[in-house]
Amino acid sequence: MHLNPKKTVAACLIAGMLSMSAVVAGAQTLPEPQNVAQLSASGQVEVQQDLLVLTLSTTREGADPNTVQAQLKAALDTALNEAKKAAQPGQMDVRTGNFSLNPRYTRDGKINGWQGSAELVLEGRDFSRITGTAGRIQTLTMGGVAFGLSREQRARVEADARAQAIDQFKQRAQEISRSFGFSTYSLREVSINSSDQGGVPRPRMMAMEAKAAMDSAVPVEAGKTTVVVNVSGSVQMK
């Protein structure tokens, strides 16, 4: 039997549309969620900051960009070589920061010189190693100090705060369910996120003040921060 291709395609399209209409109709007849409660809970743990991020920097300026760049590179290379002697993974990691070279302009838009800057970052958990190394570097000066949490410390504290938040969420869900006359509940959806409160980085120091401080180990003292984990979602009371 010979089939008409046009009729066959039309029949397939009609069947597909009918099938889709049935799916849509079925979706539209689903009952609205009932006896659903939205709630949230949080857990928080205060902890001592154990990560120091110390930034050393320098600036150079001159008429020739190649000369300025060479001066910056020499200062950074000397500092980098000194820092690498004391580097130890996790205790003091060494990396370069921003390196920039920009023209200076006159009022009429002409270039009248070049200015550049370079940074070296010392980061880790060994505060005395970091500050002692910074004190031995003579080609760069203090650019800034910031504190935070190491990866290990953050993971441990977040786990504690998350456990607190989940326990509080479950307890609150049970209390709300009973308040509405239900004996129990089931979890519908949930989201978990974490954040830090506190531990604001120290303000950047002026270069002249920092230069005097670099003659010896730089005194630093970390503060505390609070890790907060929030749990929010909905439960089906039943």
| 47-99 confidence digits (pLDDT tens) | 999 999 999 999 999 999 999 999 999 999 999 999 999 999 999 999 999 99
Mean pLDDT for all residues in the chain = 84
- The answer to which of 24-28, 92-96, 138-142 has the lowest mean pLDDT is 24-28
pLDDT at 1 over 80: no
Question: What does the alpha-carbon distance between residue 234 and residue 125 come to, in Å, rounded to a whole number?
Answer: 40
Please check whether residue 13 lies inside any domain of the structure: no
Stretch 110-130: mean pLDDT: 95
- Strands of the sheet with 36-48, listed across from one edge: 36-48, 224-237, 185-198
pLDDT mean over 127-155: 93
What is the total count of domains within the chain?
1
Q: Provide the whole-model pTM.
A: 0.70
**CATH code at position 114:** 3.30.70
| pLDDT for residue 32 | 72
In a domain, 7, yes or no: no
- Asked if 123 contacts 51 with a C-beta cutoff of 8 angstroms, the reply is yes
From 16-20, 40-44, 125-129, the region with the lowest mean pLDDT: 16-20
Q: Is residue 136 part of a domain?
A: yes
Do the domain assignments include residue 17? no
Q: Which domain holds residue 107?
A: 51-149+202-222
Examine residue 232 and state whether it is found in any structural domain, yes or no: no
